[in-house]
Amino acid sequence: MRQVDVHRLIDEAKFNRFHWVLLFWCALVIIFDGYDLVIYGVVLPKLMAEWGLSPLQAGALGSYALFGMMFGAMIFGPLSDKIGRKKVIAICVTLFSLFTFINGFASNVTEFGICRFIAGLGIGGVMPNVVALMTEYSPKKIRSLLVTIMFSGYSIGGMLSAGLGIWLIPAYGWSSVFFVAITPLILLPLILYFLPESPAFLLRSKRNGSMGKILSRIEPSYEAGKEAQYNYSTGNTSSQAPLLALFKDGRFVTTLMFWISFFMCLLMVYALGSWLPKLMNKAGYPLGSSLMFLMVLNIGAIFGAVGGGWLADRFHPRRVLTIFFIFAACSISLLGFKTNTLVLNLLVAIAGATTIGTQILLYAYVAQYYPLRIRSTGIGWASGVGRSGAILGPILGGTLLSMNLPLEFNFYAFAVPGAIACIAISMAGRNAVHSEMARSAIPLAGEYSKS
């Protein structure tokens, strides 16, 4: 009987049409995920004026989706390890697309908040699954780069949300930008047709024929045979609960540091995403210009994510992340000072590159760090715990704004989490004891035990 090492075949494959298709559809899901998430910051100034919301009320309302994301990441991340990634992706896309669309019909704060919470379940749940799927099928040499390119779709979605907001809101009102969100639900049959199922789930379900067809697309020289036996180790297969396994084999400190880093990074991301237009509006810029700053923030995020992914494939991702967090804290601190528009846009772009871009790189790092059998659990729980920081971000911004502090003090408060995250991530990945499977299947994993 022919033995096929699935890990080795995927790791050593050359980038081809299969990877392009996978990258395109995963990125498309993330684009709409980002669109649905950033949309609140786009409509916030209009909602505050129309519904008479105070900064504290607006900050609390912005946190409804983030509560949903926290629970969605914690629930749907581990669930996909049991029922398959495609089913969970389908559930999540349906949730965030449908309820963001319905959000456009909300006539009061309660209806708006309920829709945002349910949409948040899908937004938070889809992220760990597309990251895991992209990681599992990417060639080893460019794995970080592909994951970060895919996750840059989040920033494209944010730019799309801000761009459409500039055009649609003055003409059709704030509801119009929510109606666009039905698009991914319409495209869902195509998404499910083109996305492959995870290799671990296919083999656990004894769908060897499907696995063989996918491998022949990954490596055209491979010929799938009926007698092939596929070897695809997922690490320690004990009955230990996946959540507890995150803290075993020397992973205790690193798991906690990941959670702190996610918390602090997401706090910065959502504080800026929710309040940057309003703060710039308060500083004297008209609404259109304020939304442009949101676009610049997301443009910077794309360069930060792709550049960070390229650097992470050449250096240890911990080093790249540590430097990025330093730049995040410095650039955000400087946003509160009066300067010319060119310098201000440059600082906003750097802030986007080193907050949203850093968050994307964090996902790639976590996805590569954990063994396959607990990968989605590791990503899901890091993301879920981090969502409490995302929840705090809009509330923090609303609290600071209600205190009528000088503009620069708002940005100082947004920058402090960057310094804390820098310390936390510098302590991650230093003491893990990985199996032979992890060292061979996950890029840079060998460095974790050496550094």
Rounded to an integer, what distance in angstroms lies between the CA atom of residue 359 and that of residue 321? 9
Residue found by looking up tokens 């008479």 in the block: 52
**What are the residues facing 4 on neighbouring strands?**
230
Do residues 124 and 384 touch, judged by C-beta distance below 8 A? yes
Tell me the two tokens of residue 261.
Answer: 């880093």
Collect all residues with Cβ–Cβ distance below 8 Å to 222 and sequence separation of at least 6: 9, 215, 216
Question: What secondary structure, in 3-state letters, does 414-433 show?
Answer: HHHHHHHHHHHHHCCCCCCC
Burial class (CB in 10 A: 0-12, 13-18, 19+), 76: buried
For the chain, the helix, strand and coil percentages under 3-state DSSP, each to the nearest 5? 80, 0, 20
Do residues 121 and 68 touch, judged by C-beta distance below 8 A? yes
Q: How many CB atoms neighbour CB 61 within 10 A?
A: 24
Rounded to an integer, what distance in angstroms lies between the CA atom of residue 293 and that of residue 158? 11
Looking at residue 21, its pLDDT comes to 92
Question: For residue 353, which phi and psi values (nearest 5 degrees)?
Answer: -65, -35
Looking at residue 439, its pLDDT comes to 39
Series of mean pLDDT values for 10-residue runs along the chain (451 residues): 75 87 90 80 81 80 80 80 86 92 89 90 85 84 81 80 83 87 92 88 80 84 70 56 74 88 89 75 64 79 82 81 91 80 85 86 81 76 81 79 78 88 83 38 33 31
Do residues 198 and 232 touch, judged by C-beta distance below 8 A? no
Which of 154, 176, 153 is closest to 165 using CA atoms?
176
Q: How many CB atoms neighbour CB 1 within 10 A?
A: 6
Which of 175, 156, 121, 142 is closest to 29 using CA atoms?
156
Do residues 264 and 419 touch, judged by C-beta distance below 8 A? no
Q: Which helix (H) or strand (E) holds 4?
A: strand 3-5
Collect all residues with Cβ–Cβ distance below 8 Å to 236 and sequence separation of at least 6: 245, 249, 371, 373, 435
Looking at residue 288, its pLDDT comes to 58
Do residues 387 and 359 touch, judged by C-beta distance below 8 A? no
Say how many residues make up the chain: 451
Rounded to an integer, what distance in angstroms lies between the CA atom of residue 205 and that of residue 199? 10
Structural domains present in the chain: 7-226+241-450 (1.20.1250.20)
Rounded to an integer, what distance in angstroms lies between the CA atom of residue 12 and that of residue 91? 32
Looking at residue 23, its pLDDT comes to 92
